[in-house]
Amino acid sequence: MNDKDRLPRVVVVNKFYYRRGGDCVYTLNLEHMLRKAGHEVAVFAMRYPDNEPSQWESYFPAEVSFSGPLSEKLRGLRRMLGIDDVATSFNALLNDFRPDVVHLNNIHSYLSPILASIAHARGVKVVWTLHDYKLICPSYSRLTGTQICDRCHGSRSKTCVLKTRCMKGSAAASMLAWIEALRWRRNVVERDTDVFICPSRFMAEEIARAGFSKQKIHTLNNFIPSVPSAMTSVRGKYYCYVGRLSEEKGVRTLLKAATMLQHELRIAGGGPLFDELKAKYEQWPQIKFLGHLDGEGVAKLLGEAACSVLPSELYENNPLGVIESLCMGTPVVGAAIGGISELINDNNGLTFTSGNEKELAAAIDAAVYGPWDNEAIRQEAIERFNPESYYSRLLSIYKK
């Protein structure tokens, strides 16, 4: 077999190696998909108690934390700058595994963009899937408090993060984020990265607007790892929310809308607002807090719902919650913000102005009673988000 026909050996990199958030879920799904297709795959992540077992964990750098005493923050700073054991550990993995491709995911802070520089210097292709806005926003989310903020977009100095303390509301955390942004400037990460994969057109446009080369940007939606089984023929008249209960996710707006409706709302998930919101709204008979559900529980909840809701009040990228709902044949009511609108059309859901509870209530009411073709929604979503199509496009990126 010549080199052209050989499948690339890939190192998949993410700061955590367990199902912590969307980036972690994608990383684990990506590793499984590549192995199933016949690739040799290594993994690189930070050591962490919740990590899944891996044959590669002996290469993982030590855990760092940004809480606690000054000494811990200084260790974290060294990690951010790539001047601790992360470089040594990654070089050891590359020496032993000898990959053709390093596929980065979320690596800032707990790992470091030094990984891109190391791989690039060795002539290894660097592909980076962008799950958030860290390359253009020191605090990841493009939020100052609960308000959308674009002040660092395109800025070289990134000093806004210091003035507004938008990294966790902390002066110390914001200072660290500012230092990290200066160290890993656009020209540095762009020089050392061959391809940036953006899961939404919105993300791709925003990265390009910040000055990144359009030639290096590829738009590739997220995927589901396996096709769900046929949905139930019985659907309730409830609607649901699955996700984190935090300010930026718009759950306060959702609950205000829910009090205007008679339909039952079922909320699955936890987060910093869980106790507060449950205490405030549990007296409303149409609002049910389910807490955390396992994968089977989430699938059943989505598969039997009249619709699901994503009321986000931040620039979502390509949310898996929407994709999972559509692949169950369940229409989505989504906030018209970020990449959400790209996933919703007249045949599979409705959009509303982010933060507007009256518009949201009206959209939910229409969706619950809407004459949806659930099987058509499911088939269209599976065709769009199946792993086979994703892999075909990803392999062309690896080999290009």
Residues 256 and 322 in one domain: yes
Are residues 207 and 244 both part of a single domain?
no
Q: Does 370 lie in the same domain as 390?
A: no
Give domain status of residue 2, yes or no: no
**Residue of 72, 138, 125 lying closest to 98 (CA atoms):** 125
If asked whether residues 199 and 314 sit together in one domain, one would say no
Instruction: Specify whether 144 is located in the same domain as 285.
Output: no
Q: Does residue 327 fall inside a structural domain?
A: yes
Cα 43 to Cα 45: distance, rounded to the nearest angstrom: 7
d(CA 136, CA 244): 24
**261 and 130: one domain?**
no
Name the nearest CA neighbour of 116 among 90, 142, 137, 96.
90
H or E element that contains 265: strand 265-268
The CATH number linked to 269 is: 3.40.50.2000
Q: What is the pLDDT of residue 233?
A: 63
296 and 200 housed in the same domain:
no
Lookup result for tokens 């674009």: 150
Query: Is position 5 within any domain?
Result: no
Same domain membership, residue 244 and residue 220: no
pLDDT in tens, 327-346: 999 999 999 999 999 999 99
379 plus 390 within the same structural domain: no
pLDDT per residue as tens digits for the range 91-136? 999 999 999 999 999 999 999 999 999 999 999 999 999 999 999 9
Note whether 215 and 248 are same-domain residues.
no
Domain shared by 393 and 359, yes or no = no
Do the domain assignments include residue 270? yes
Tally of domains in the chain: 2
The token pair at 385 is: 């988000």
Q: Are 378 and 328 within 8 A, CB to CB?
A: yes
User: Do 208 and 257 fall into the same domain?
Assistant: no
Query: Domain residues for 344?
Result: 239-384
Counting Cβ atoms within 10 Å, is residue 325 exposed (0-12), middle (13-18) or buried (19+)?
buried
- Angstrom CA distances, 138 to 13, 82, 107, 132, 166, stand at 20, 17, 13, 11, 9
Point out the residues of the chain with pLDDT beneath 70.
Answer: 1-4, 154, 227-233
* Any domain includes 43: yes
